[in-house]
A and B are shown apart, each in its own frame.
Chain A
Amino acid sequence: EAQVTQNPRYLITVTGKKLTVTCSQNMNHEYMSWYRQDPGLGLRQIYYSMNVEVTDKGDVPEGYKVSRKEKRNFPLILESPSPNQTSLYFCASSSGQVIYEQYFGPGTRLTVT
């Protein structure tokens, strides 16, 4: 089954404790992206990757890091989480260099206390 998986699905952590949210897709997609969703703000793009070893900033990259060492994986790293990073995070993937349709993961709900 074609899918995007994220782990963990739920995470409660404390300020400053480094964490990684994993994202994996099994569709051989070139494009992957991370979004955060906050009430009233819709989805905002954090980082995206057009292919392996190619990453770029979205609209809200501060406080986040990404890497794309393999085509299927695109982890999101929070080196020193803060409470304002409490949010619902989504990973998505798409084929090709023009984005026509994104496949979304189920989401990771992160709480930073």
Chain B
Amino acid sequence: SQQGEEDPQALSIQEGENATMNCSYKTSINNLQWYRQNSGRGLVHLILIRSNEREKHSGRLRVTLDTSKKSSSLLITASRAADTASYFCAIYAQGGKLIFGQGTELSVKP
């Protein structure tokens, strides 16, 4: 299957620092979505970027998309301990199929 690739797999930072995680994919897309998961719980949608967009912001989140490189980045600015979670990208092309990356485990230390 054509899974998305995320890196890093794990990231440990101090409170107040920025966290950047990356997602690469192989297909053409309609949009790319980012989700957050707290310790084995259900995923929560964070932000979406459409294929014709290059950058979007939502609060402390900034997502970029480079369709020529088939990659996206999620930046969390001024991180907090409460941001500790796993973050997943989901690639949507068409129809009903979504491809998730393996996730980045973020740890923010107080």
Which residues of A are interface residues toward B (Cβ below 8 A)? 4, 31, 33, 35, 40-45, 48-50, 56, 58-60, 88, 90, 92, 98-107, 109
Which size class do B's interface residues fall under? 20 to 34
Query: Chain A contact residues: over half helix, strand or loop, or mixed?
Result: strand
Cα-based distance from A50 to B95 in the complex (angstroms): 8
Q: How many A-B residue pairs have CB under 8 A?
A: 73
Measured between beta carbons, the chain B residues less than 8 angstroms from A43 are: 43, 88, 90, 100
A104-B43 in contact given A41-B102, A44-B1 (Cβ < 8 Å): yes
* Nearest chain B CB to A67 CB, angstrom units: 15
Which residue from chain A places its CB closest to the CB of B50 in the assembled complex?
A: A100
Query: Chain B contact residues: over half helix, strand or loop, or mixed?
Result: strand
- Contacting pair B97 A42 (CB below 8 A): no
Measured between beta carbons, the chain A residues less than 8 angstroms from B3 are: 42, 44
Contact of B101 among A42, A60, A109 (CB under 8 A): A42
Q: Can you list 5 A-B contacts with CB-CB less than 8 angstroms, sorted by A residue number?
A: A44-B3, A58-B97, A100-B48, A101-B48, A102-B98
- Contacting pair A107 B48 (CB below 8 A): no
- Contacting pair A100 B40 (CB below 8 A): no
* Nearest chain B CB to A68 CB, angstrom units: 12
Contact of B31 among A35, A88, A100, A104 (CB under 8 A): A100
* Nearest chain B CB to A84 CB, angstrom units: 16
* Nearest chain A CB to B28 CB, angstrom units: 14
Cα-based distance from A34 to B36 in the complex (angstroms): 17
Shortest 6 CB-CB contacts between residues of A and residues of B: A104-B42, A48-B96, A42-B102, A43-B100, A59-B1, A104-B43
- Contacting pair B100 A48 (CB below 8 A): no
Beyond contacts A43-B90, A100-B48: 20 other A-B pairs, Cβ-Cβ < 8 A, are: A4-B42, A35-B100, A48-B96, A48-B97, A50-B96, A56-B96, A58-B97, A59-B99, A90-B42, A90-B43, A98-B30, A99-B96, A100-B33, A101-B45, A102-B43, A102-B45, A102-B90, A103-B45, A104-B35, A104-B42
